[in-house]
Structure 1
């Protein structure tokens, strides 16, 4: 099997009620900790083994929007030893279909969203200060934009590394 068949949220709900599936959430641990579908287990795509533990249940993979699982169907299928599917629309699709998730607001927003919020805010601040105070402030926007380009092209995000040390992102012992 090289591709995984999409499964609708309603189909997944029926299969979960019958105990027929094991739901595997492939998002990173911080994303999973903040919000996930009840009964899903966390298995980050970045730490995916060659083969998942044997189970007699059908596997269903999910992520936030379905993009991550959709882009990795061959890899996910290769590590599944049983029939496997991907959840259409991911956790977002699950919620849109009217199903509940487990939310832990004591957990921080996932790291990439934090980076996007701070980078966007800094770019906006640079533009506003450049317009209202002095054109040299446009350099702040250029610097952040260059950092985003480097992060996208290399996979290294300096801002995420720095944010990992923020008090709200430190793991409690």
Structure 2
């Protein structure tokens, strides 16, 4: 009888620990390409969280430990748990790029016209706010439009209770939040080379 496999527990690295070990880690930024373009850790490779499974073979073959990074640490923690399910030990950067920048460390930005976009959390707040205002405004014309505002409010409550976000999943599919196939393939090739 076999015993169930226990998933590997992700390790959290503080800013200074990560800075000291940066050259020996594979830094993987799991934010959207637009967020990545707004500033990332030096040498970080961009593999959006929803594309992380495509990078599993390269991460499994690598001898360097992956350091998963996002804006604040929530998505990188999810990335570490996903990797752990597949037998890859990874660390997460405590506080993400926000903490890195707040610690006085530089963030790299891609050269050559990569366009920075708002962080996903900010995109969600903006979209939710606009939809609520639209529902309230259109509700003056016909009360049924107020259901739009109620639906968004219910979605936000559900999102908080389940720690998931359907609106972020939808917004993540917009063109400015999607990696170009060539960019992701180049990133995966760079991962394989490490």
**Structure 2, unaligned runs of 5 or more:** 1-6, 183-194
- Say whether the 8 Å CA contact 2:67–2:93 is kept in structure 1: yes
Instruction: Please state if 1:56 is matched with 2:63.
Output: yes
State which drifts further: 93-102 or 117-126: 117-126
Instruction: Please state if 1:160 is matched with 2:171.
Output: yes
Deviation at 1:144, TM superposition (A): 4.3
Instruction: Please state if 1:70 is matched with 2:80.
Output: no
Which residue number in structure 2 is paired with residue 9 of structure 1?
A: 15
Deviation at 1:59, TM superposition (A): 1.6
* 2-structure distance, mates of 1:117, 1:36: 23
- Say whether the 8 Å CA contact 2:68–2:79 is kept in structure 1: no
* 1-structure distance, mates of 2:124, 2:29: 22
* 2-structure distance, mates of 1:30, 1:42: 10
* 1-structure distance, mates of 2:92, 2:18: 10
TM-score, length basis structure 1: 0.69
CA, structure 1 residues 39+156, in 2 after alignment: closer, same or farther (shift >3 Å)? same
CA, structure 1 residues 44+123, in 2 after alignment: closer, same or farther (shift >3 Å)? same
Deviation at 1:108, TM superposition (A): 2.9
Which residue number in structure 2 is paired with residue 96 of structure 1?
A: 102
Deviation at 1:160, TM superposition (A): 3.3
* 1-structure distance, mates of 2:102, 2:132: 32
Q: Superposition RMSD on alpha carbons, in Å?
A: 3.9
* 2-structure distance, mates of 1:120, 1:26: 25
TM-score, length basis structure 2: 0.62
Deviation at 1:40, TM superposition (A): 0.5
Q: Deviations over 1:91-141 (max 9, x none)?
A: 1121122212124683332555334213313424655x58xxx84477555
Match of 1:36 among 22, 27, 40: 40
* 2-structure distance, mates of 1:158, 1:60: 23
CA, structure 1 residues 117+78, in 2 after alignment: closer, same or farther (shift >3 Å)? same
Question: Structure 1 or 2: larger strand share?
Answer: 1
